């Protein structure tokens, strides 16, 4: 960076809120994708006005700015591969207002998801998005990726649960989007546009989140099947009936075997796949709803339906054990295959059986183990190719296999990412899903918000 830029940066940002030493900057150049690049400086955001001034300075000197929460993303979206400044929100972490009467909470982007949940729960509410990393991931990151989690099947993603945003554009303008009410159709819906844009359109400094009342009761089921196909067929049957689960999670045989040593829950030895199903609502209605779910889970009573066991969790401890099993999957896979390829594709729920069959064939074709689990109620399956990047020949096969995975997903009318985003690792494939006209319109939107291309440049779209 230029000497005059550094001197102006020092004048703008207090010493305690900046890092210029290369060795210390290195600690902010990564995310959970395991990609890494060196930022030229790290700035700790304090307030909106400071960020406006920083953006204007960076725009004048053509210095990139990459917003960063806790670094839990898996696609390299916060990796400063083009240099520039990492703008960390770890110190901009206050809850500004809780309004139970209007069912909303206003927070800065550095607040963790878990902190939001705890604060809302004190008033009898929750915020719908519940990613696996909720204990550490930030609201800003949830907004940047349109994060979701198991509850999205009933309550929607981040995009469905945000009322207002305040942000700074790449021009240094302050933009306030949305309304505090649950209805509002004045102007374009810029709130939903910003959410999921991975910091390429604006830097979010405040968010008004929509809260929901905590359900009075829940029922949690563990359902095992003799094969992946039987479980996939049951998922479609469950989602075709009137009772909407608040969670419907899918785990295949390979995943079950891998987490057996990490779990205190009962995991059958010979299961081909497992579903975790949770329903919520009033105590009086849940028993009837549970019967409907179990009937669908047994493929509506068909002979040879593949259902081996339906087990209802009978205590808070059993429920906790089941969810800890699900949350142990990603860490366990990281330990077993630290350089695996992790994708989060989505297909229409009715086509999950075709997806699972296709993935099994690709695994056999390329000789690469593929482990599948995820948010089946949304058709959002995490596809994990267990490969070794240090094996050059295997990497070629893995790349070809991944190409076919994406082709399969698009042939099934699906999409290439449900909640992990695009970042760096998936941007070369975006053109497979979006046509040239769509990409041109999106580029025009980017230029309107960020004409100098300083906000997280090179992410989300092909170069």
Per-residue pLDDT reduced to its tens digit, 14-60: 999 999 999 999 999 999 888 999 999 999 999 999 999 999 999 99
> Residue range 96-120: average pLDDT?
98
Q: Last residue of some domain: 189, 213, 237?
A: 213
Closest CA to 58 of 198, 182, 203, 197: 203
Longest dimension (CA), the chain: 76
CA 355 – CA 348 distance, rounded (Å): 10
- Same domain, yes or no, for 227 and 182? no
Q: What is the mean pLDDT of residues 133-160?
A: 96
Question: What band does 387 get if pLDDT is binned at 50, 70 and 90?
Answer: confident
The whole-model pTM stands at 0.93
Strand 202-210 with 162-169, pairing? antiparallel
Best CA proximity match to 330, nearest among 319, 320, 344, 316: 344
Segment 410-418 shows an average pLDDT of 97
Q: How confident is the model at residue 338 (pLDDT cuts 50, 70, 90)?
A: low
CA atoms within 13 A on the CB side of 203: 35
- Between 269 and 403, name the one with better pLDDT: 403
Q: In this structure, what CATH number is given to the domain that contains residue 376? A: 3.30.70.2740
How many Å apart are CA 196 and CA 286, to the nearest integer? 34
Residue 174 pLDDT > 70:
yes
Pairing state of beta strands 217-225 and 125-126? unpaired
Q: Can you tell me the mean pLDDT for 432-458?
A: 97
Contacts of residue 108, Cβ cutoff 8 Å, sequence gap at least 6:
89, 92, 93, 94, 95, 96, 139, 205, 206
Look at residue 183 and tell me if it is in a domain.
yes
Q: Is the pLDDT of residue 330 over 80?
A: no
User: Is position 298 within any domain?
Assistant: yes
Residue that terminates a domain, selected from 213, 235, 259: 213
Q: Which of 316, 351, 331 is nearest to 220 (CA)?
A: 316
Q: 191 and 107: one domain?
A: yes
Evaluate whether residue 101 is within a structural domain: yes
* Residue 144 CB-density burial (10 A; 0-12 exposed, 13-18 middle, 19+ buried): buried
User: Would you say 138 and 31 are in contact if contact means Cβ atoms under 8 Å apart?
Assistant: no
Q: How many domains does the chain have?
A: 3
Question: How many angstroms separate the CA atoms of 227 and 307, rounded?
Answer: 9
Q: Residue 172 is part of which domain span?
A: 95-213
Inform me whether the pLDDT recorded for 302 exceeds 80: no
Give the residue-averaged pLDDT of 302-306: 79
∠ CA 373-374-375, rounded to 5°: 150
Phi, psi of 105 (to 5 degrees): -140, 140
Same domain, 381 and 305: no
Residue 321 near residue 387 (C-beta atoms within 8 A): no
User: Which domain CATH number covers 175?
Assistant: 3.30.465.10
């Amino acid at each position: 960076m230029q000497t005059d830029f550094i001197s102006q940066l020092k004048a703008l940002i207090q010493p305690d809120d900046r890092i210029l030493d290369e060795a210390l900057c290195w600690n902010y150049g990564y995310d959970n994708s395991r990609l890494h690049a060196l930022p030229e400086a790290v700035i700790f955001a304090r307030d909106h006005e400071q960020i406006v001034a920083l953006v204007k300075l960076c725009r004048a000197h053509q210095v990139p700015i990459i917003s960063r929460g806790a670094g839990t993303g898996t696609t390299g979206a916060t990796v400063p591969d083009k240099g520039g400044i990492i703008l960390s929100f770890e110190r901009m972490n206050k809850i500004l207002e809780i309004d139970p009467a209007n069912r909303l909470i206003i927070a800065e982007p550095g607040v963790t998801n878990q902190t939001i949940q705890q604060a809302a729960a004190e008033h009898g509410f929750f915020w719908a998005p519940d990613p696996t990393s909720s204990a550490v991931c930030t609201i800003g990151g949830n907004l940047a990726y349109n994060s979701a989690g198991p509850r999205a099947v009933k309550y929607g993603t981040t995009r469905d649960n945000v009322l207002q945003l305040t942000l700074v554009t790449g021009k240094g303008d302050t933009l306030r989007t949305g309304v505090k009410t649950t209805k509002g159709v004045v102007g374009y819906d810029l709130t939903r546009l910003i959410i999921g844009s991975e910091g390429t359109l604006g830097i979010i400094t405040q968010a008004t989140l929509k809260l929901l009342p905590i359900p009075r009761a829940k029922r949690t089921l563990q359902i095992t099947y003799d094969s992946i196909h039987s479980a996939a067929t049951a998922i479609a049957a469950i989602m075709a009936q009137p009772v909407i689960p608040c969670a419907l999670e899918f785990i295949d045989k390979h995943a079950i075997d891998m987490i057996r040593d990490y779990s205190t829950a009962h995991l059958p030895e010979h299961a081909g796949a497992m579903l975790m199903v949770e329903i919520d609502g009033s105590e009086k209605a849940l028993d009837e709803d549970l019967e409907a779910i179990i009937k669908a889970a047994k493929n509506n009573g068909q002979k040879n339906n593949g259902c081996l066991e339906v087990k209802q969790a009978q205590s808070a401890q059993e429920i906790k054990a089941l969810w800890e099993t699900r949350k142990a999957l990603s860490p366990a896979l990281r330990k077993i295959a630290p350089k695996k390829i992790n994708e989060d594709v989505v297909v229409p729920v009715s086509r999950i059986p075709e997806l699972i069959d296709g993935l099994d064939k690709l695994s056999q074709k390329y000789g690469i183990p593929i482990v599948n689990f995820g948010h089946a109620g949304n058709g959002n399956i995490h596809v994990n190719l267990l490969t070794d990047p240090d094996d050059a020949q295997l990497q070629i096969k893995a790349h070809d296999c991944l190409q076919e995975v994406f082709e399969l997903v698009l042939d099934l009318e699906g999409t290439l990412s449900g909640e992990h985003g695009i970042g760096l690792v998936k941007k070369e494939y975006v053109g497979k899903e979006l046509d040239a006209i769509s990409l041109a319109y999106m580029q025009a939107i980017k230029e309107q918000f960020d004409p100098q291309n300083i906000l997280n440049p090179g992410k989300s779209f092909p170069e």
